[in-house]
Structure 1
Amino acid sequence: MTLVTVLGILIVRKITLFLRKEAVSGYTYTQTSTAALRHPVRQWSNIPVHIVEEHHEVLPYWFRAADHGRISKGVTLVHIDGHSDMASNFYLDGYPFFKWPKNPQNINIMMQRNDGFITAAAMAGLIGNVVWIWPKWDQVNHNDSKTSGTLQFGWTITRQSKVGTDKAFCMCLTESIQQQKSCMFTSADETDMEVLMEEDACIIKRSIHYTEMREDLAREYLQSTHESFDNMILDIDEDFFGCEYASQPLYDLSVDLNALDTYLFQLFCPLHQTGEAVLDRYLAEVIDFVKRTKCISENKPENCDGKTISNTKQFFLRKRSIWRPYICKTTKKERSSFIDGIIEELFKLNLKQLHAVQKVGFCLSTTRKTYQPISPSLFSICKGANSPNETAVTEHRTNPIEVSTRGQLLSSILNVFKESPPKIITVCRSVRDGYTPRQHFVQIENIILNSIRKNYRKAFIHYDKGLLGGKNGFKQSNF
C-alpha cells in the first residue's frame, strides 16, 4: 500500500460556541509578538506539556507558543500517534485562508475535526515539516516501514456544498522515491469526504516536508537525519499504545441506543466538563434505581405497571436541582416528554445491558471548543466516534505488558532530544472519541509523562480544563 493510499484511508477517520478563553488556562490571544519576531525559538526555563482531550485542542497552545516566541514559523512537528491525523478542514466564510489566525474566532473555525489540526496549522504557515512515528501494530496499513515526500496544500472550486461554499481545500502528496503525485479535496457532499482530483485543479498555496516511519526505526532516523530539530513541537497521542472500541460493551449485547441518545441531547446541554461529570453520575444513579425496581422488561416496557414507571419519574424529578443547571432551552411539556422517553428506553434494557450503559457512561460527543456549525457537541452515551463496524480504523487490543514495552521504546525515542529538548509538548488523551483503551488509560498516561520527565527535567505539566473526567480521567472506577 503506497503512502498515497495510506493517507487516503487514514484521513477519513475521527470525523464526527465560540472558543472560550478559559478553555486554555491563562490564554490571551495576540498576533505574532515583537518578542517572537526578534527572538525566534527563544530559550525558556521550562518546557510546557499541555494535556488535552481531543487532538484539535492543541491548536490554541501551538499558536500561543508561536506568538510568544517559544517556537517560530516553519516548526518541525514530531507526531507520535496511532494515526496520521492528516485530514483537511472544510473551507468556510471567515476561515483564515492560508493566513496566520488573528483572534480566537479564527482559531475556533480551524478546530473543526480532531484529525484536521495538522493541516490547519500547516496551511496557516506554522508547520514546515512533519515526522509521523507510527506503532508496529499499524503495519497492516503500510507497505513500507518508512516513506517520505512533499505535501502541498491549496484550494479548488467545487460544486455548491452542504457547508454553503463553492471552495474546498485540497492536498497533493508527492512521494520522494517514485515521484508519484496524488491530489484530493475535502467535500461535504460525498460519502468519503476526501475525493481524488486532477492535480492541476488544486491551486497550491503552501508546501511542507513529510516523513512517516515505524516506531522501531524512529530513534536511528532521528539521530542520523540532517534535519534540524532546534525548532520543534513534540506531539503524542495516547492511542499510539492501542486502539479499542469504547462502545464494545454495548455492541456485544446488541444494545440499540439511538432513541435514548436523541432524548438525552434534547434534554441536556452541559457547556463544560463539570456539567458532563455531574450528569454522568446522576444518570448512573437513575440506572441504579431502574435496576432496583426489579422490573426489567426485556424490551417490553409495557409489562411494567404504571406505578413502577411513575416512581422512576418521581425519582428523576426529585433530584432536579442536580440536573436543572444543564438542561437545554425547552418548554416544561418538552422536558417532561424527554424524561418519559429516557425512562422508557432504560426499561427496555435488561440488567446486563443497563450495566454496560453505566460502564460506557455519558458525555458530550465532542468538546464545546470544536467549531459547532460543523460538529455540534451533543450529550449522549459516551461511545465515541469509533465503533466495531467502522472500517477505516484499525483496532488493536493491548495489555499492560505491551503498554510497558512500548513505553520503553517511547522513552528511547524522546531521549534523542535530551540535549536539545522540544520547545513545547502536547499530549492527547483520545478517550472521549473512543480510541485510547480506557482500561489502560492511567498506565498509558503515567508512562508517557514519566518518559517526558525522565528525558526533560524542566517539563511542566498542564492539564487542560476540557479534559473528560478532569485531571484524573473518565470513569476509572468502571475498569
Structure 2
Amino acid sequence: MAQNKICSQNISATESSSTLTLRKTPISENIIQAEHFTTTELPPLKRFKKIPIYVVEEHNDALQFIYSAIGGKKLPLEGTTLLHLDAHPDMLIDRKLKGSEARSGRDLLPLLQIENWIVPAVAAGHISRVVWLRPPWAKQFPDGTRTFNVGDDPRTGYLRVDSKEPYYLSDALYSGTLTNKRTLTFTVAELYHSLLPNSIQHRIPQLVKNISISQPYILDIDLDFFSTSNPFLSLYQQIALYDLLEPIFEFKLPNDDEVDTFEKANENREQQLDELEILFKHLEVFGNLAEYQGEKTDSFKKVLSISKKVNIIAAKEGESPDWWAIYAAGCTRDQGGLPYYISSEEQIRNMVEKGLIPLLKRLPPPVLITVARSTIDGYCPANQVEMIQSLILKTLKEIYDTDDPALHYLTVHTS
C-alpha cells in the first residue's frame, strides 16, 4: 500500500526518535493457548512525548487516529498489534467491500461501520495481530489463539477470510481461495470473571503471559466492555420480535471440515442473506409483501408472517415500522444473538480495579489509546456511559503519562 495514501494529521505532542521492536507469531492452523514470539528490529519510529488518548463515539472512528499515527511514523506501516477490550469483536467485514477498497488508505474510512473496522486494516497490512479481551458475557469466539488469512476472493474481488469459524460463515465471509493474502494472529481471552472476583489477582499474571503483548501496540477500549446493552431487544417487545427473528436468519453449520463443504455452505448462506435483504427492502418501500413478485420461498413465508405481526403493532402505535432496523436486528440473531449484561456500578468498579488496572500495570505502555463510547448506537447504557468514561480516563491518566484526552465525539455529535 502506498504510504502517501496514509495522511498524517497535526498532532500537538512533541516527538522524539526511538527504536521499537515487534514480536511476530509463528503461523498455526489450530487454536493454541499461548504464543512464543521472536523479536525483529524495526526502523526507527518517532514517539509521542505523552501517550495520546482519543475518545470517539462510533468505534470505527478510532481507525482514523491509528492511520494518522502510521502516517506520522509513530506506528510502523505494517505489523502492529491491537489490544481490543470490547463486548464485541468488531471483526466482521462488509460483504460488499472490495479488497482494493480495504487497501485504499484513508479512502477506506467512510466505508466502515462499528462492527467491521478491524479486518480491513489487517488486509492493508497495518495490523497483524489482534488480542480481543472480552467480558464474561461475550462469547462470540472461543478463547485461544488462532491464525487465518484475509484477502480478496478472486471470483468477486470482495474481501474475505479463510477462517471456518461460525462468526464468519454466518455472514457468508468465507473463501477457501484468496489473493493478496495477509495473515492475522487472533487471540481471544476473558479478562474478568464476575463470579470469581477474589481470584482475579492470580489469573492476571497468567493472562499477561498468555497474550504476550509487546511494543508497538495500540490499546483500544470500548466502554460497553464494562456494561453491555442490546439495542435490538426493545424492538416490538410486545411480540418478542428479537426472538421471532432467530428462525428466519438461522443457518446450519457444515457437517465436515472440507473446503468444498464450506464453500457450498457459504454460497447457500449468501443466497439466504441476499433474499432476506431483498424482502426487507421491499418492506421498507411498500410496507408489506402483498405485491412482492419474487419466489414465494420458505424465507418469504417467514418474513410475511412476522411483517403482519409488526404492522398490527405499529398501526396501534401510530407509527411506520423501521424495516431496516428489523433487518439489522435479524442479522445479529444467528448464533445466539448479541451479548447483553447491564452491570451495577460496583461491578464496573470491580472490573476496573481487579481486572483492567492489574492488567495494564503488567504490560508495556501502548503507542496510543483509543476509547469508544458506543452509547448513541445503544451498546453502552446511556445512563452509565459518563461514569464509565470518567473512571476509565482517570485510570489511564494514573497508569500512563498521557496527554489530556482528545474528545473527538464532541466535534461530531451534539448529544
Is the shorter-chain TM-score for this pair beyond 0.5, marking a shared fold? yes
Looking at structure 2, the residues matched to 347 and 71 of structure 1 have their Cα atoms a distance apart, in angstroms, of 52
Kept after mapping to 1: 8 A contact 2:53/2:402:
no
Deviation at 1:239, TM superposition (A): 1.1
Which secondary structure does the structure 1 equivalent of 2:125 belong to? coil
Tell me if structure 2 keeps the 8 A contact 1:133–1:213.
yes
Aligned match of 1:53: 57
Structure 1 equivalent of residue 135 of structure 2: 135
> Is the CA contact 2:149–2:182 (under 8 Å) kept in the aligned structure 1?
yes
Indicate the residue corresponding to 1:280 in structure 2. Answer: none
Offset of residue 43 of structure 1: 2.7
| Distance in 1 of aligned mates of 2:173 and 2:205 | 36
Structure 2 counterpart of 1:214: 190
Match of 1:167, SS state, is coil
Distance 1:255 1:170, change over 3 A: closer
The one of 80, 89, 93 equivalent to 2:94 is 89
Q: Indicate which of 410, 419, 443 corresponds to 2:387.
A: 443
Find the partner of 2:157 among 140, 149, 167.
Answer: 167
The structure-2 alpha-carbon separation of the partners of 1:184 and 1:397, relative to structure 1 and needing over 3 Å to count, comes to closer
How far did residue 395 of structure 1 move?
A: 1.4
CA separation of 1:232 and 1:467: change in aligned 2, threshold 3 A? same
1:7-406 equivalence runs, <5 A: 27=9, 40-72=44-76, 73-92=78-97, 96=100, 99=103, 101=105, 104-109=106-111, 111=112, 113-138=113-138, 141=140, 146-158=143-155, 166-173=156-163, 182=164, 192-197=170-175, 199=176, 201-203=177-179, 205-216=181-192, 219-221=204-206, 223-225=208-210, 227=212, 229-246=214-231, 251-252=236-237, 348=318, 390=333, 391-406=336-351
1:421 is aligned to 2:394: no
Distance 2:211 2:339 in 1: 33
How many residues were matched structurally? 301
Secondary structure of 1:234's counterpart equals strand
What are the ranges of 5 or more consecutive residues in structure 1 without an aligned counterpart?
Answer: 1-23, 30-34, 159-165, 174-181, 264-298, 300-343, 350-364, 366-379, 475-479
The answer to whether the Cα contact below 8 Å between 1:80 and 1:236 also exists between their aligned partners in 2 is: yes
Offset, 1:394 = 1.9
Deviations 1:203-242, CA, capped at 9 Å, x for gaps: 3610021111111487324542584521010000111112
Measured after TM superposition, the shift of residue 467 of structure 1 is 6.6
CA distance in 2, matches of 1:157, 1:185: 22
Matched with 1:314 is none
Shift of 1:401: 1.5
Q: Whole-Å Cα distance in 2 between the matches of residues 107 and 205 of structure 1?
A: 21
Q: Is the 8 A contact 1:129 1:208 kept in 2?
A: yes
Per the normalisation by structure 1, the TM-score is 0.53
Residue deviations 1:352-375, cap 9 Å, x none? xxxxxxxxxxxxx9xxxxxxxxxx
Q: Return the alpha-carbon distance in structure 1 between the equivalents of residues 327 and 378 of structure 2.
A: 4
- The amino acid that maps onto 1:400 is E
Distance 1:467 1:404, change over 3 A: farther
Name the CA distance, whole Å, in 2 between partners of 1:406 and 1:414.
Answer: 13
Shift in alpha-carbon separation, 1:27–1:137, aligned structure 2, 3 A: same
**Could you tell me which amino acid in structure 1 is paired with residue 151 of structure 2?**
G
Over the aligned positions, Cα root-mean-square deviation in angstroms equals 4.3
**How far off its partner does 1:421 sit?**
1.1
